[in-house]
A = this chain, B = another copy of it.
Amino acid sequence: MNHASGRAGRPEGSSRAILEEAAAELFLEQGYTGSTIAQISRRAGVSRNTFFHYFSVKSDLLWVAVDRVLAGLPAAFADADPALPPTDAVHRALLRVADGFGSADVPWALTHSDVMGTSAELQASAVARITAQAAVVARFVQARDARTAALAEPFAWAVLAAGATAAAIWARSGVQRAPLARYVDAAVAPVCAGFAQHWSDAPVTASHPHPPVSGSRDPVR
């Protein structure tokens, strides 16, 4: 019979969605660390190996929602106003992505006290996301303005770190929290402003009442 997707080969089941559901259930019942991959796949009625066919790492389960939203970042860059300075374009793109999260649905990764705080696993998986996005941001900024090259990466990381920290604060605020975008905006704005100033080559007058320890605004190398 001609299967829906034109491809050859055995059609894939709904395994992925089922695994996500099973995991969500088990996380509620036993927490993240308390649930093993074996249990999750068993409840999903699927072999343990099938799990690894869909998720390369257990912690991917914590980020399914986030990953879906994050996937929109390149698009947000694609239709950024070309007249905007790169820092502002990044600023706006991040806010647009942040708007993808309702005040209600805080992602697994940020709520689960189980994994928050001490867990090296969560940190690692979070940084994996930031690494990916940092590459996108750095590439974008550099393409916009070649003069940003030397500090494109530090800027990307700084701005994403600020944003991610804001998201963490947002998550641990109560249910009364304001929209995520407001938190992200407050944290990201100063970083963008700082680099914008730096790249526009106008000295930041208010900042160094004492002489800087070394030449502050010289590009690397």
Residue numbers of A with Cβ under 8 A of B are 57, 81, 83-85, 87-88, 91-92, 95, 120-121, 123-128, 131, 150-151, 153-166, 168-169, 173, 178, 181-183, 185-187, 189-198, 200, 202, 204, 206-210, 212-221
Contacts and interface: CB of A to CB of B under 8 A. Distances in A.
Most interface-central of A158, A166, A216 (chain B CB within 10 A)? A158
Pairs A-B, 5 closest by C-beta atoms: A194-B194, A124-B124, A161-B161, A154-B187, A190-B194
A209 B86 CA distance: 12
A198 B164 CA distance: 19
As for how many copies of this chain the complex holds, the number is 2
19 contacts: A87-B207, A126-B127, A154-B161, A154-B165, A157-B161, A157-B164, A158-B165, A161-B161, A166-B220, A178-B220, A182-B215, A185-B212, A185-B213, A185-B216, A186-B219, A190-B198, A193-B207, A194-B194, A200-B206
A206 B159 CA distance: 18
A10 B25 CA distance: 49
Nearest to A198: B190
Contact of A159 (B125, B158, B209): B158
Most interface-central of A85, A128, A181, A185 (chain B CB within 10 A)? A185
Nearest to A189: B216
A191 B158 contact: yes
B92 A209 contact: no
B210 A206 contact: no
